[in-house]
Amino acid sequence: MTRLFGTDGVRGEANTDLTPELAYRLGWAAALYFGRDKNEPPMIYIGRDTRLSGKLFEAALATGICSAGGRCEIIGTCPTPAIAYLTKQQDADAGIVISASHNPFQDNGIKFFGADGYKLPDAVEDEIEALVRRLEAGEKLPRATGRRIGDITGRREYLVRYINYVAGTTTERFDGMKIVLDCANGAASEAMPKVLAKLGADVTVIHATPNGVNINENCGSTHLESLIDTVKKLGADIGIAHDGDADRCLCVDENGAVIDGDRILVMCAQDMIKEGSLKDNTVVTTVMANIGFHKAIEAAGAKTVVTGVGDRYVLENMLANGYNLGGEQSGHIIFKDFATTGDGLITAVQVLTSLKRSGKKASDLAGLMKSYPQLLVNVRVKSKDGWEDNVDIREAVEKGEEQLGKDGRILVRASGTEPLIRVMAEGPHQVELETICRTIADRIKQVQG
């Protein structure tokens, strides 16, 4: 049987793959798990992004939690990292976020945070999944009755606590800074404009009118075109873009050039080095980081540690070794001094802090890193199973690696959340990369469908 939890919670098309019945069982199982060693009902916070199906799953989860005798605090629409922060800060037993991040509106997902504000370990997810499977099989698990039935409370005001916290992660003021903010019609739409307003910035907000179906639609961190146009049109100092659940942040400089996660890490690392706050002068990144990133960090007097793809692996390494800065090219950045997970709002505040302290333009700071050409091709497949062991795919990759030699690299991996196999090649010549990626992608299509 396929594992219920993927790399970032349970995901699927709303009301098809991910159903309210499944959400109900997840809520019930969560209440049983997090209340197992308690003398009182467990408290679970629920937040969501702006998808049309969000309220459907919010209601189903809450019903399941209450059926098992748990209590719910409904935060409503809020960034994913807000639930991580509030769960820990308010001493809740767990937090649940309803979101499919950067995916289109018809998808949705359910992910959990523990009482410590961190995403759940695989072993805990497996225990919750085991309870779900028992419910699906018709087993009669504990059901609350009478006074033990759980309660649901709306806590919209808790979002203000998170907004104040994010604004408090800097000692700088942003008065005089002209900023364009793209909220992806998602979870940042209310919170982030208020954060920047508290810090004195001159903000133009775009894509902050969610209607349930326009989340990530030609906007946000996966579609930067309108942000680039607005920054250039208004002569802004910088543009900021979040994804649907606001755990990511990408930027564009005053000329409209993209500042990806690699560059954000370089900008913030050099500021932290000057401030003496970068632990062990080390930045944690993934195998997807550009070669130019490693060279820029080295030039700044620091070092890099590389993990597998995924913010959870970055965080695991940071926790194991005491590092306080890490992230991914995609814009998942973790400032461990401030957050237990990737937080797009905190990332934006730290980027603006670096910019303000430097007295330079965004393009100057982003220019600390010179990128090698990098090409990423997403191959949609019928099945992701077995591709690593296929001789034809391996042969195509090896030929590409021979062609690039020591001046480049190739990385092929399966997506953790979508039916895709990703082919990434990096090297000095774009045309060469296109040929290599196309050859490998064609081979994958032939083999995997």
Cα–Cα nearest to 422, from 395, 392, 393, 399:
393
Neighbours of 122 (CB within 10 A): 11
H or E stretch including 272? helix 261-275
Strand 107-114 relative to strand 10-13: parallel, antiparallel, unpaired? Answer: antiparallel
How far lies 70's CA from each of 7, 149, 153, 178, in Å? 26, 7, 12, 46
Would residue 101 show up in a list of annotated catalytic residues for this protein?
yes
Determine the Cα–Cα distance for residues 418 and 101; give it in Å rounded to an integer. Answer: 12
Active-site residue, selected from the candidate residues 53, 67, 101, 221:
101
Phi, psi for residue 174 in degrees, rounded to 5: -110, 25
Determine the Cα–Cα distance for residues 256 and 237; give it in Å rounded to an integer. Answer: 10
> Could you tell me the two tokens for 18?
């991910």
Neighbours of 376 (CB within 10 A): 14
Residues 340, 258 contacting (CB under 8 angstroms): no
Residues 337, 230 contacting (CB under 8 angstroms): no
- By annotation, the residues acting in catalysis are 101
